[in-house]
A and B are shown apart, each in its own frame.
Chain A
């Protein structure tokens, strides 16, 4: 089945890196205007921001403030109306949809709120898929690697189950394994824990934390202040503008929030699970 199997990508896609001290992701004067029936709506009003290698950034803000819109500019899910996004030496806002997809395959892992595993593929097949799409590794290596990633997220016994037959937390764990299948330098997650119970949320958070230790850059949108506070850097968006940017403890003010029981518990659990995950990841990568 060579016909459908491998086709060489047209241009060699490089993995994004940045020289020491230089930002990995450079966003300049990003404006996003949505055209709606009620008229134009400016969701991002000129944001310039840099993200560096191995940063763990949480993006917070009220619903409708523009968080998803902002990270969509990085993933290429959406394009800025004006302004530029450079990641490594790639000019994200210039790529076509298809080029973008190829670029993303190697450089970016996306984790969605609703997991978005492909329902007709088993968990392991879901994890193998990005490697196949990007033509990374040999078929045998792909399988081994997928298995390692699944055991990293605690799913080695569920590898051959279909997504519909496992829990939400397990699906999200598999989705994270899928996001890091091609070992991308950047992971973007839009409310990855929004649909999870506190235990699973903590698990996800620990995984992220460890990935950062491994040198990955993680940008996570969250509503959960406790989780946000655990990230190194927090960016607060308000009304399409960055209103706060700095060390998490400065930006996330926990005192004015009535923490949900789940979130607090998750934060504690996250610490406990940190150790295990660290060990596992060392083996996987």
Chain B
């Protein structure tokens, strides 16, 4: 072997700790790149493949009962790809834990083999026979069932029916909001068995091309509607969907986007670590380089030797991080995929992706070479004289900045510990890089906790619009007074409000089509809603046909503002309403309007009556809510009321929060990665510091420095760095929190987050930093204490 390669190997081998440090620094960055770019390639691809393959519906029309004839004539309309009739019925199902929940059962011709929103079979049978049930995967979890269970259904008249679950399927066309709602598929005969009419009342249609063109879909939809109307059936409502992109695609993009930014940050941080270590390596080799030059080595040759050394570091790092990145990328996609309703191919089917590997190789080589070239050129360019005299007299005469002078004056550290304080600030460049890494890692870490609170706050805000502690719904209207009376008999109920809820149609000026509005009408003095208003005000007692609309209305009429008069058809009567305010909801496209109970109940001729109630309980915990829901349900049923459902409000919240938490976990993983980079940086910095001060530690021993002094000196240095980095991290966590929460809430809810602060992040990070700095300095401290003076002076 040529001597120069032997030198490379000797360098790598002799200082294993440093080799490990550089390799780990490169590995982390390349690993992050691999993980995230794998997810970037795997996830959206699987998402869209699954979505398009499922042939998602483009037009849904609700109308009067119809049969195969109408389906046939609709399917002959030019532009229609496929048309299917559907019947959706709702019954009460007994959950595994004994409580009751509503389930939607869908029947269609050839249920299980239908051509629109094609099911993806998870387990069991694809097609149910009569009196058998095919369940949605997520509903299975919510209800607590597994394949083969016999479920108990309660019909409107109290009849009990039992059916086996024969298959579990997944509908890949759905977004999160509808996903967890329990749904199942049955045959038309089963519909009859459940005492509903075995006919269709919904027409589902796909278009034959341009599934992402809203206008095209609308034009086909108009044809379909007129065909239905021509058959003598009124069109109750129509919804149109583009289907070229998965409904969750924007959220997935946002999450992946954030992960990419964090990934870039990690690469950046790992680059600064590499720079640190290589700098110290070159400094230590100065004399060696001088000797090499003395015996005739040219600058170019020396540069080459160190570049080869970096390539060796990179090669080791790539060997570790390419497979690890691929595995982690797949697992990351897996976690995300269950949240956004995507089926991933098996891992075996996801081999190393050339693009990802190429990217990793590029980053793994470019970053170390890019940051390494500066110290190498500095080192290789040194003159023999400078190298042998240790950089010359000039380099030794450290010029004192105000900072150094301040350091010399600090009296808080007395005795030998002043050494620790001054040592901390000796290698300023290295300290700055370390602090930067730790502060950024910590800032992200802390921010993730703040983001979590912000997201939960958002969920609260949103669920607050429609959910109280318990939502109680009946199959028909009851006098609110009567319901109130019965509700108050149940201990734990604080108060109850009867809400009027109905559908209306807004006539948008200059547009022919109407926009459906779901109208909620809590009592004017309702205490349950805390609206977030974008413009205007909320509805008030005494308002006459006033309405507050959510921000979705702005996409129907961008010029809408408080004070505008609009025409809304409610209960078949078109009247003029006044917009009093626009409030912030989730970013869903549906328009939700709030008016007062007093207004709406008289519009729909049901004064003093309501079928939907909101109950506030004395304790707001989910367990209490659930317990009370069951009691309320039982109490009203016992007294002869037709209870449709009593549901704990916390359950809505829970479902949404769980989804948020997945994102939080992902962020936390990234935050931990940055924290790992930070700790490697800290450990590296401390051990490099020690390495460079071995001689001084020996001197300290020679003049009476015993073990614990040496250990304490090193530990305190670590703790000072930890403390400063913590303060910096706390400071940068504020802007990071704001940006991160906003990006995420805008992606999910189409509205910015309120800035929220959680002490948790700060506490956990301070603990982590304390542990980290202790551990990271303990090792070098112990090594330092074990140095004997003779070893030390042999460095001379």
Contact = CB atoms under 8 A, between A and B. Distances in A.
Interface of A: 1, 4-7, 9, 72, 75, 77-78, 97-99, 101-102, 104-106, 109-110, 112, 114, 116-122, 125, 129-130, 132-134, 139, 162, 164-165, 178-179, 181-182
Contact of A77 (B398, B422, B702): B702
B796 A114 contact: yes
Contact of A72 (B414, B699, B709, B790): B790
Given A4-B716, A106-B704, A130-B704, A118 B696 contact: yes
Contacts of B109: none
Contact of B707 (A97, A104, A122): A97
B383 to A, nearest CB: 21
25 contacts: A1-B412, A1-B417, A4-B413, A4-B716, A5-B417, A77-B788, A77-B789, A77-B790, A78-B790, A97-B701, A98-B708, A104-B701, A104-B703, A105-B703, A116-B695, A116-B702, A118-B699, A119-B696, A120-B423, A121-B422, A129-B416, A129-B703, A132-B415, A133-B416, A134-B704
Contact of B705 (A101, A119, A125, A162): A101
A121 B704 contact: no
A78 B702 CA distance: 12
8 tightest A-B CB contacts, nearest first: A105-B704, A98-B707, A120-B422, A133-B704, A4-B417, A132-B415, A116-B699, A77-B789
Interface in B378-413: 396-398, 400, 408, 412-413
Contacts of A119: 696
Given A4-B417, A116-B695, A164-B397, A77 B793 contact: yes
Given A4-B716, A125-B418, A162 B398 contact: yes
B26 to A, nearest CB: 32
Given A1-B412, A72-B790, A133-B709, A118 B397 contact: no
Interface in B705-755: 705-709, 712, 716
Contacts of A101: 701, 704-707
A121 B709 CA distance: 16
Nearest to A9: B706
Interface residues of B, number: 38
B702 A121 contact: no
Given A1-B417, A164-B397, 18 more contacts: A1-B412, A1-B415, A4-B414, A9-B706, A77-B790, A78-B788, A101-B704, A104-B703, A110-B702, A116-B695, A117-B699, A130-B703, A133-B700, A133-B703, A164-B396, A164-B398, A165-B397, A178-B703
Nearest to B696: A118
Interface in B761-794: 785-786, 788-790, 793
Contacts of A109: 703
Contacts of B706: 9, 98-99, 101-102, 105, 133
A209 to B, nearest CB: 23
A9 B793 CA distance: 26
Which has the most chain B C-beta neighbours within 10 Å: A4, A132, A133, A139?
Answer: A4
B419 interface: yes
A11 B699 CA distance: 23
Nearest to B407: A120
Contacts of B408: 122
Contacts of B703: 104-105, 109-110, 129-130, 133, 178-179, 181
A102 B704 contact: yes
A285 B705 CA distance: 24
B298 interface: no
Interface string B664-706: 0000000000000000000000000000000110011111111
B290 to A, nearest CB: 18
B426 interface: yes
A5 B417 CA distance: 8
Contacts of A139: 414
Contact of B426 (A72, A112, A120, A134): A120
A139 B422 CA distance: 20
Contacts of A99: 706
A219 to B, nearest CB: 15
A110 B703 CA distance: 7
Contacts of B398: 162, 164
Contacts of A97: 701, 707, 786, 788
Contact of A182 (B396, B704, B716): B704
A104 B698 CA distance: 13
A4 B712 contact: yes
Interface in B138-164: none
Contacts of A102: 704, 706
Contacts of A120: 419, 422-423, 426
Contacts of B712: 4
A42 to B, nearest CB: 17
A61 to B, nearest CB: 19
Contacts of A181: 703
Contacts of A164: 396-398
A19 B463 CA distance: 92
Nearest to A97: B788
A114 B700 CA distance: 14
Contacts of A1: 412-415, 417
A157 B331 CA distance: 68
A179 B426 CA distance: 25
Contacts of B699: 112, 116-118
Contacts of B422: 120-121
Contacts of A75: 702, 789
A72 B701 CA distance: 13
Given A72-B790, A101-B705, A162-B398, A118 B414 contact: no
B404 to A, nearest CB: 9
Given A4-B716, A77-B790, A98-B706, A118 B700 contact: yes
A175 B631 CA distance: 86
B792 to A, nearest CB: 9
A96 to B, nearest CB: 9
Nearest to A10: B706
Contacts of A112: 699, 702, 793
A59 B486 CA distance: 108
Contacts of B793: 77, 112
Which has the most chain B C-beta neighbours within 10 Å: A98, A114, A165?
Answer: A98
Contacts of A129: 416, 700, 703
Interface in B592-634: none
Nearest to B709: A133
Nearest to A103: B704
B108 to A, nearest CB: 76
Nearest to A118: B696
Interface in B9-45: none
A106 B703 CA distance: 9
Contacts of B695: 116
A77 B793 CA distance: 9
Nearest to B700: A118
